[in-house]
Amino acid sequence: MSVYFFALLISFALNAALIVPFIDFLYKLKFQRAHQQTKDAFNKATPVFDKFHSHKAGTPVGGGVLTVVTTVFLYAFLLLLFVFFDRPIQSNYPSVIAEIKIILFTFISFALLGVYDDLSKIFFWKKDQFFGLRLRHKLIFETVLAFIISYWLFQELKIDIIHIPFFGVFELSYFYLIFSTFIIVAFANAVNVTDGLDGLASGVLLIALAGFWIISSSILDVPTSLFIAIWLGGLIAFLYFNIWPARLYLGDTGALSFGATFAVIGLILGKAFTLSIMGGIFVVEIASSFVQLMSKRFMKKKAFPVAPLHLYLQYKGWEEPKIVMRFWILSVLFAIFGLMFAVMR
């Protein structure tokens, strides 16, 4: 276990040393939220959001890029050290290489999709042009990536079951491909939707991921435990600059990558049911947005004045830091419940 704590601290130190120069670099690239002169264009589409968030214009977006790069680099480096010093890389699956491949592919591929989406938003590429990315196109790309990952989970790691406490284990066979694809896409977008307040998504993810770290360490799964430890170190450094008032935002790069990878870790650990509890805040956030979307589409009216839930609470008069802190507390409770259900038969 000490090697994981070492990995976490090394990751935190590396990210802490690089993050301020990285923020300055993002300013130079103008990789920022909409500036003052572009606010009027946004107010027509999202007046409630801009009422509470227009003062954040100019804050750098793309903080997830640094965490992705440092996590991948350290993960590869530490795995090589395991091999060099002839330390066993214990896994619960027949192929250690496949497990590592799935984690890294998810982390990197969804990050690249997020980079593209961030660029289109920042530089206002039009949706009807090649560089623009409509929501349905984005979902298609996400689904294709998620299906590839699901196929590897099913074919190479031989995962095709879900365990539901009190009800037992259910073998899904080929239906697992559909199930896991849905889970990955859902959580990628859930974290993206939740990433609307300073420190909200990153703080909730940090807590939920710590819960999965406990599970992975308890079953002695080295590839997953090591990855989570390194990722946590980067998240802690990022959260320091992301809490209110934020100096840096995840952007779609971090949100899509982190959400999809969080889901894949839950699937690799065989805790699909626990995943929905650990990530309870993400589930509630995406559910509120989905209900709003379906209501507008089929009922021709809004189910809520605004969505998702965190924006609704702002609309009702809650202060941003209060919402974030209370969601963190709820996330701790969700993590405890998740751990409780994870050990049930």
From CA 173, how far away is CA 21, in angstroms rounded? 48
3-state SS, residue 68: helix
The total number of residues shown for the chain amounts to 345
The answer to whether residue 257 scores a pLDDT higher than 50 is yes
3-state SS, residue 60: strand
Q: Which residue has the tokens 């130079």?
A: 28
Q: Is 117 annotated among the ligand-binding residues?
A: no
pLDDT given for residue 129 in this prediction: 44
What percent of the chain shows pLDDT beyond 90?
Answer: 68
pLDDT given for residue 138 in this prediction: 85
Q: Is 192 annotated among the ligand-binding residues?
A: yes
Q: What domain range includes position 270? A: 2-342
In contact, 263 and 183? CB cutoff 8 Å? yes
- Condensed to tens digits (0 to 9), the pLDDT of residues 261-301 reads 999 999 999 999 999 999 999 999 999 999 998 998 888 88
From CA 243, how far away is CA 198, in angstroms rounded? 5
Average pLDDT over residues 141-149: 97
Task: Count structural domains, the chain.
Answer: 1
The answer to whether residue 36 scores a pLDDT higher than 60 is no
